[in-house]
Amino acid sequence: MRIGILGTGNVGRALAAGWLRAGHDVALGSRRPGDEELLAELKELLQAGLRVEDPAGTAAHAEVLVNATPGTASVALLGSIGAPALAGKVLLDVAVGFLEDESLSHQVLSLGEEIQQAFPDTRVVKTLCTIDRDVMVAPDSLEGPSTLFLSGEDAEAKRVVSGLLADLGWPAESLLDLGGIVTARGQEHFALLFVGIALSTGTFKFNIRFVPPAPGRTDTP
In the chain, where the domains are located? 2-201
- Distance (Å, rounded) from C-alpha 1 to C-alpha 123? 17
Pairing mode of beta strands 148-152, 64-67: unpaired
- Distance (Å, rounded) from C-alpha 207 to C-alpha 202? 14
2-201 architecture in CATH?
3-Layer(aba) Sandwich (3.40)
97, with CB counted inside 10 A (0-12, 13-18, 19+), is buried
Closest CA to 122 of 187, 78, 56, 61: 78
pLDDT by residue, tens only, the chain of 221 residues: 999 999 999 999 999 999 999 999 999 999 999 999 999 999 999 999 999 999 999 999 899 999 999 999 999 999 999 999 999 999 999 999 999 998 999 989 999 999 999 999 999 999 999 999 999 999 999 999 999 999 999 999 999 999 999 999 999 999 999 999 999 999 999 999 999 999 999 999 999 999 998 888 766 66
Neighbours of 218 (CB within 10 A): 5
Neighbours of 82 (CB within 10 A): 12
- Distance (Å, rounded) from C-alpha 41 to C-alpha 51? 13
